[in-house]
Amino acid sequence: MERNPLGKTFSYLLTESRTLIDTGVPTDNAYKGLQRQLEEHGLKPQDIERVIITHLHNDHIGLAQTLQEHGAELVASRVAAEKQAQVQEEYRNLYELNVEETRLFGGAEYLNFLARFVYAFRDVPRPLRIDRTLEDGEIFSLDGFSFKVIWTPGHSHEHIVLYDEADRLLFSGDHVLPKITSHVALHSYDHRDPLGEYLDSLEKVKDLDVETVLPGHEWAFHNLQERIEQLRAHHSRRLQEMKDTLKDGERTVYQVGSRVHWDSRPWPEMSFWTKRMAATETYAHLVYMRNRGEVKEEKKGDTLYYRLA
Ligand SMILES: [Zn+2]
């Protein structure tokens, strides 16, 4: 698998309440890095009282269980806690679900390749035990700090951002990043409209009075509203670009994906895993347009086809 294009994940330490917002990847190196940085504040991992996680992606929860074993309380959205059970269920036949999805997306030529990685789909992650759950709109107060929890589904369904009104800070996780467009994707077995949710979630944070945004990756930034406008414009361009690929007839998800521009690298140079990610992103856009009557979806045999409505 390719390196995470997002690079580093930020972990934020609220010193007075000994709280961490997100943790890095689950590697020894990341743990040593965290230890070293905590030492600069005279703290050890055992001193961390709680870890708040914005969403359940590996680069954000990687060290959460380790810190929990050292005594930290694990805090996440209620949706994150509910998702633990669903994910365990999904993992029971994740490989079969992915075979079905590959066919639905029109990627039958990749099935032999996928079969070589059955083992990777059988590797069920240990569920997180979330000690305290947060509700949308809840005010969460800690020593020296108080913030509003805002549920922002889209990049992932359980995603929350934390808004500190007094200091005009927004811990944005992966909801709004300064340069990279958050990956908004959908698996065929998820039955959601994540792009619709994502665009609604951008609206939810757009009018907040924010001086500084502290995201999960890249760098801190100040132009929240402008950035949100850019992201909305990006997705409408993207939707149009995908629609344009349907002008001369119906196409599968993989066909649409192979005909649009990708920032990472051209389609023919992508590994299967990157194509699969690109296909789930394409599917999220097609489902968005299908739900709004802009494209028609038809299942023929095991495969979905899209055409202009
Ligand atoms: Zn993420």
CA of 301 to the centre of ligand 1 (A): 34
CA of 76 to the centre of ligand 1 (A): 14
CA of 302 to the centre of ligand 1 (A): 30
Per residue in 218-270, pLDDT (tens digit) is 999 999 999 999 999 999 999 999 999 999 999 999 999 999 999 889 999 99
CA of 61 to the centre of ligand 1 (A): 10
Residue 40 to residue 302: CA distance in whole angstroms? 57
Per residue in 271-280, pLDDT (tens digit) is 999 999 999 9
Per residue in 80-119, pLDDT (tens digit) is 999 987 878 888 889 999 999 999 999 999 999 999 999 9
Render 63-92 in DSSP notation, one character per residue.
THHHHHHTTPEEEEEHHHHHHHHHHHHHHH
CA of 299 to the centre of ligand 1 (A): 31
pLDDT score recorded for residue 169: 97
Per residue in 167-207, pLDDT (tens digit) is 999 999 999 999 999 999 999 999 999 999 999 999 999 99
CA of 49 to the centre of ligand 1 (A): 23
CA of 155 to the centre of ligand 1 (A): 7
Residue 149 to residue 132: CA distance in whole angstroms? 13
pLDDT score recorded for residue 1: 27
The 3-state DSSP class for residue 162 equals: strand
CA of 253 to the centre of ligand 1 (A): 23
Residue 142 to residue 18: CA distance in whole angstroms? 9
**Is there a contact between 127 and 88 (Cβ–Cβ < 8 Å)?**
yes
pLDDT score recorded for residue 6: 59
The answer, yes or no, to whether residue 3 has pLDDT greater than 50, is no
CA of 139 to the centre of ligand 1 (A): 23
CATH of 12-308, one of 3.60.15.10, 3.40.50.300, 3.40.50.720, 3.20.20.70: 3.60.15.10
CA of 19 to the centre of ligand 1 (A): 20
CA of 220 to the centre of ligand 1 (A): 17
Phi-psi region of 252 (alpha: psi -120 to 50; beta: other; left: phi over 0): beta
The answer, yes or no, to whether residue 300 has pLDDT greater than 70, is yes
Per residue in 9-67, pLDDT (tens digit) is 899 999 999 999 999 888 888 899 899 999 999 999 999 999 999 999 988 998 999 99
CA of 218 to the centre of ligand 1 (A): 13
CA of 216 to the centre of ligand 1 (A): 8
Count CB neighbours of 217 within 10 A.
Answer: 21
pLDDT score recorded for residue 303: 98
Task: Look up tokens 């759950």; give the residue.
Answer: 133
pLDDT score recorded for residue 2: 31
Percent of the chain with pLDDT strictly greater than 90? 83
